[in-house]
């Protein structure tokens, strides 16, 4: 690649970088200013003095935005959803990949077809199902279904299980290992990276989910961070952007930290999803 | 060997068509039991209910009353439904190609061996992890009509450009109205302007394409280098290599992202719900938002379910179309 070309690539990527990271920087920047400075025109670029006690402190202790409560609600749901997804999806994936039984082809087709159905199509009738189960107003609709297996994750894990040589499970079988034993002692340890991908994706999807909590949570004390943030925004009516940006920063931060801790898992996971 | 295994193979290494063992049948169903139950409770049951309710008058407060096709006929006369349908089609038609081109372009750039590659990749990927609610809040602030950073930065650019254009126009003998309009060129009020709200929402979709970029990037890295070298030896330029090597080799990945995009564009909800609530003047009222407001806010379960059925039908139709067209342009190696 010639030097001139390299500079052009740099230029294009720098422009893109401004678009992608600029808003996040401006969010943090605004969140460090006092209200007056945040709304100043022309804008103040560097906050002086830094007003953490006036923004973050205020947000954390605001009665309208009980951050610790919402963070706890969100965390519990995300952890349960991740645990359920890993456990059930790997069981089902093992059945679809490694056990011969009548009907597994049909089940696989049904599962692939169901991946074409987006959530908004089912949200209303699901609301009725959950209402009959008495789950509306609780967090159950947001994590309990994960314990029944998630099609996307089942498919992902099935593809991983298919790559594990048959001789391995055959040998274990001859040694008297049951299917459960093969799943537990061979498949799970061998596919730990794939399980990490599932756990991570399930966690992030659940953390970022908005429509689900909006439909199924009825009481403010059960809100998750995303619904709470929307609620906070609509209540603050477009004023005090410094507080709003501080709240947004706090909502985004855990996901960003998680990303930097598990960057490889993220990228490997996404890369495999598009390649079958 | 006294005992057969479920994995028995014949000499050629293929699995023999031996009957399924009873124990395997039981184990298979047992392992799949969570999903078998899940399909019944969270897929077939709600789908069945949606079909049934779509033919009923149902408010959740009283038992459903059968009304035949009335909900579907009602949709034909529902102005808001038509607006939501058209808006969603416009969004999909604009955002699908835009997203595919932009993410493929970024992936190609990110695949270039340059310094800081890892940093660029991280920066472009990161926003796709930001919850869309937060994205809506942040961009709402950036696009604020009088205190927003975007308008502040754009105003002098537009002012200068407008001045130059006005000078050129008056030199070319344009009317006074045109000249003054150009002189007054200023940023729009973005989300408060019914003509701008939709383009803004479409454009902001590009902020969260990091995952599509990564999928494309993985696809690009799988293309054997020899193909490019051979093309170069044959005298193919950069564009020809893109057209005859990259695109065909990438077609399965493009297809995957296309299907995901089709499904995704019919569930756009978070961003417009947070930023515009469907306004101004219903210019950003999307299909899923209207289903939500009909079902959850007005408790009109019948029409909401009818809309969901129409939505499902359209998605399946478009997906089938994509699969059908795939025979012509997707090359599996």
Instruction: Give the DSSP letter string of A105-171.
Output: HHHHHHHHHHTTS-HHHHHHHHHHHHHHHT-TTSSHHHHGGGGG--HHHHHHHHHHHHTS-HHHHHH
pLDDT digits (tens, 9 = 90+) for B163-191: 888 888 888 887 888 888 888 888 888 99
Which residue, A229, A228, A226, A120, is CA-closest to B289? A120
Please indicate, yes or no, whether residues A193 and A81 belong to a single structural domain of this protein.
yes
* A226 vs B contacts (CB less than 8 Å): 131, 133-134
Minimal CA separation from B179 to chain A, in Å: 28
The whole-angstrom distance between residue B101's C-alpha and the CA centroid of its chain comes to 13
Tell me the average pLDDT of chain A: 89
Please indicate, yes or no, whether residues A75 and A198 belong to a single structural domain of this protein.
yes
> Which pLDDT score is estimated for B279?
80
Question: Where a domain ends, among A35, A57, A79?
Answer: A57
Minimum Cα–Cα distance from A231: chain B residue = B274
Q: Which residues contact B289 (CB under 8 A, 6 or more apart)?
A: B84, B269, B272, B273, B278
- ∠ at Cα A111 (A106, A113), nearest 5°? 95
Minimal CA separation from A68 to chain B, in Å: 17
Residue A245 lies in a domain: no
User: What is the count of structural domains for chain A?
Assistant: 2
Which is it for the CA torsion A97, A101, A105, A108, positive or negative? negative
- Supply the Cα-derived Rg of chain B in whole angstroms: 27
What is the distance between the alpha carbons of residues B64 and B300, in angstroms, rounded to a whole number? 11
| B266 has a chain A CB within 8 A of its CB | yes
CA atoms within 13 A of residue A5's CA, in its CB half-sphere? 7
CB contact under 8 A, A13 and B218: no
What is the distance between the alpha carbons of residues A206 and A200, in angstroms, rounded to a whole number? 10
| A18 has a chain B CB within 8 A of its CB | no
Please indicate, yes or no, whether residues A149 and A197 belong to a single structural domain of this protein.
yes
Please indicate, yes or no, whether residues A34 and A83 belong to a single structural domain of this protein.
no
pLDDT digits (tens, 9 = 90+) for A76-110: 999 999 999 999 999 999 999 988 899 999 999 99
Q: Work out the burial of residue A129: count CB atoms within 10 Å of its CB; fewer than 13 is exposed, 13-18 middle, 19 or more buried.
A: middle
What is the distance between the alpha carbons of residues B26 and A103, in angstroms, rounded to a whole number? 12
> Which pLDDT score is estimated for B83?
95
- Domain ranges, residue A41: 3-57
Residue A253 lies in a domain: no
User: B17 pLDDT exceeds 80?
Assistant: no
CB contact under 8 A, A17 and B46: no
Please indicate, yes or no, whether residues A71 and A53 belong to a single structural domain of this protein.
no
Which residue, B271, B318, B70, B213, is CA-closest to A118? B318
Measured CA to CA in angstroms, residue B68 lies from B52, B56, B195 at distances of 10, 7, 39
Residues 282 to 311 of B: which have CB under 8 A from any A CB?
Answer: 287-288, 291-292, 295-296, 301, 304-305, 308, 311
Please indicate, yes or no, whether residues A156 and A47 belong to a single structural domain of this protein.
no
Element spanning B57, H or E: strand B56-57
* A261 vs B contacts (CB less than 8 Å): none
Query: How many C-beta atoms lie closer than 10 Å to residue B152's C-beta?
Result: 16
Residue A274 lies in a domain: no
User: B306 pLDDT exceeds 70?
Assistant: yes
Minimal CA separation from B175 to chain A, in Å: 34
Residue A7 lies in a domain: yes
Residue A227 lies in a domain: yes
DSSP state of B99: H
Residue A270 lies in a domain: no
B153-175 b/e (C-beta count within 10 Å ≥ 16 → b): eeeeebeeebeebbeebbeeeee
Q: What is the mean pLDDT of residues B116-122?
A: 91
pLDDT band at B130 (very low <50, low <70, confident <90, very high): very high
Residue A263 lies in a domain: no
Higher pLDDT pick, A178 / B203: B203
Q: What is the mean pLDDT of residues B144-169?
A: 88
CATH of the domain at A106: 1.10.3720.10
Output B194-198 pairs: Cβ under 8 A, ≥24 positions apart.
B194/B279, B194/B280, B194/B281, B194/B283, B195/B283, B197/B276, B197/B279, B197/B280, B197/B283, B197/B284, B198/B87, B198/B90, B198/B91, B198/B283, B198/B284
Residues 160 to 189 of B: which have CB under 8 A from any A CB?
Answer: none
Minimum Cα–Cα distance from A102: chain B residue = B25
Residues 177 to 206 of A: which have CB under 8 A from any B CB?
Answer: 178-180, 183, 204
CB A82 within 8 A of CB A205: no
pLDDT digits (tens, 9 = 90+) for A214-272: 999 988 899 999 999 998 888 766 558 888 999 999 999 999 999 999 888 877 777 77
Measured CA to CA in angstroms, residue B224 lies from A150, A157, B109 at distances of 34, 27, 18
Tokens of B62: 């009283």
CB B141 within 8 A of CB A240: no
Which is it for the CA torsion B142, B146, B152, B155, positive or negative? positive
CB A219 within 8 A of CB A137: yes
Residue A144 lies in a domain: yes
What is the distance between the alpha carbons of residues A54 and A32, in angstroms, rounded to a whole number? 8
Helices (H), chain A: 3-31, 35-38, 52-60, 67-98, 104-114, 119-133, 140-143, 151-162, 166-174, 179-182, 188-190, 192-208, 211-216, 225-236, 241-261, 263-273
Please indicate, yes or no, whether residues A26 and A91 belong to a single structural domain of this protein.
no
User: B6 pLDDT exceeds 60?
Assistant: no
| A134 has a chain B CB within 8 A of its CB | no
State whether residue B15 is helix, strand or coil. Answer: strand
- ∠ at Cα A223 (A219, A225), nearest 5°? 160
Interface test with A, best of B19, B28, B154, B189 (most A CBs within 10 A): B28
> Which pLDDT score is estimated for A38?
84
Please indicate, yes or no, whether residues A116 and A150 belong to a single structural domain of this protein.
yes
Please indicate, yes or no, whether residues A110 and A218 belong to a single structural domain of this protein.
yes
Q: What is the mean pLDDT of residues B145-153?
A: 88
What is the distance between the alpha carbons of residues A212 and A217, in angstroms, rounded to a whole number? 8
Query: How many C-beta atoms lie closer than 10 Å to residue B183's C-beta?
Result: 15
Please indicate, yes or no, whether residues A110 and A189 belong to a single structural domain of this protein.
yes
Please indicate, yes or no, whether residues A78 and A154 belong to a single structural domain of this protein.
yes
pLDDT band at A143 (very low <50, low <70, confident <90, very high): very high
Please indicate, yes or no, whether residues A173 and A214 belong to a single structural domain of this protein.
yes
Tokens of A276: 């079958």
> Which pLDDT score is estimated for B2?
38
Which residue of A102, A154, A169 is in closest CB contact with B35? Answer: A154
User: B15 pLDDT exceeds 80?
Assistant: no
What is the distance between the alpha carbons of residues B284 and B197, in angstroms, rounded to a whole number? 7
Beta bridge partner(s), residue B9: B15
């Amino acid at each position: 690649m010639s030097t001139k070309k390299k500079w052009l690539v740099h230029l294009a990527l720098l422009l893109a970088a401004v678009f992608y990271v600029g808003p996040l920087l401006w969010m943090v920047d605004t969140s460090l200013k006092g209200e007056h400075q945040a709304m100043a025109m022309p804008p103040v670029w560097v906050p002086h003095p830094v007003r953490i006690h006036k923004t973050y402190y205020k947000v954390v202790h605001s009665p309208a935005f009980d951050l610790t409560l919402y963070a706890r609600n969100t965390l519990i749901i995300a952890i349960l959803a991740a645990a359920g997804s890993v456990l059930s999806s790997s069981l089902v994936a093992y059945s679809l990949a490694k056990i011969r039984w009548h009907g597994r082809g049909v089940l696989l087709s049904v599962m692939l077809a169901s991946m074409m159905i987006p959530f908004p199509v089912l949200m209303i009738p699901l609301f009725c199902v959950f209402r009959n189960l008495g789950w509306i107003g609780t967090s159950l609709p947001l994590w309990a279904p994960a314990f029944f297996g998630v099609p996307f994750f089942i498919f992902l894990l099935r593809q991983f299980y298919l790559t594990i040589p048959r001789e391995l499970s055959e040998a274990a079988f001859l040694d008297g290992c049951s299917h459960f034993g093969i799943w537990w002692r061979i498949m799970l340890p061998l596919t730990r990276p794939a399980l990490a991908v599932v756990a991570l994706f399930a966690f992030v999807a659940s953390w970022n989910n908005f429509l689900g909590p909006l439909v199924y949570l009825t009481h403010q004390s059960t809100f998750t961070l995303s619904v709470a943030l929307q609620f906070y925004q609509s209540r603050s009516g477009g004023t005090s952007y410094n507080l709003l940006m501080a709240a947004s920063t706090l909502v985004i931060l855990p996901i960003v930290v998680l990303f930097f801790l598990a960057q490889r898992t993220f990228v490997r996971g996404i890369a495999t999803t598009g390649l079958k | 060997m006294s005992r057969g295994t479920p994995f028995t193979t014949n000499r050629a290494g293929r699995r023999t068509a031996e009957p399924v063992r009873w124990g395997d049948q039981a184990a298979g169903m047992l392992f799949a039991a969570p999903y078998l139950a899940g399909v019944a409770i969270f897929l077939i049951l709600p789908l069945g209910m949606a079909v049934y309710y779509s033919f009923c008058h149902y408010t959740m407060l009283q038992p459903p009353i059968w009304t035949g096709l009335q909900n579907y006929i009602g949709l034909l006369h529902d102005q808001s439904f038509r607006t939501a349908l058209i808006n969603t089609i416009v969004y999909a038609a604009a955002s699908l190609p835009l997203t595919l081109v932009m993410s493929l372009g970024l992936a190609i750039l990110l695949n270039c061996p340059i310094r800081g590659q890892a940093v660029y990749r991280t920066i472009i990927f990161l926003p796709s992890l930001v919850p869309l609610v937060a994205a809506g809040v942040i961009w709402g602030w950036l696009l604020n009509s009088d205190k927003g950073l975007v308008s502040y930065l754009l105003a002098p650019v537009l002012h200068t450009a407008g001045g130059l254009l006005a000078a050129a126009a008056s030199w070319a003998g344009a009317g006074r109205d045109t000249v003054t309009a150009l002189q007054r060129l200023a940023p729009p009020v973005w989300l408060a302007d019914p003509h701008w709200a939709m383009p803004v929402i479409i454009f902001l979709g590009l902020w969260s394409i990091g995952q599509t970029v990564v999928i494309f990037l993985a696809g690009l890295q799988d293309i054997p280098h020899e193909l490019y070298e051979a093309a170069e030896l044959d005298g193919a330029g950069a564009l020809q290599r893109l057209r005859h090597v990259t695109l065909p080799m990438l077609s399965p990945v493009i297809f995957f992202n296309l299907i995901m995009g089709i499904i995704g564009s019919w569930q756009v909800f978070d961003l417009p719900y947070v930023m515009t609530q469907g306004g101004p003047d219903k210019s950003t009222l999307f299909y899923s938002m209207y289903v939500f407001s009909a079902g959850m806010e007005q408790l009109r379960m019948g029409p909401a379910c009818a809309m969901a059925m129409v939505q499902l039908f359209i998605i399946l139709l478009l997906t089938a179309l994509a699969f059908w067209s795939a025979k012509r342009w997707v090359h599996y190696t």
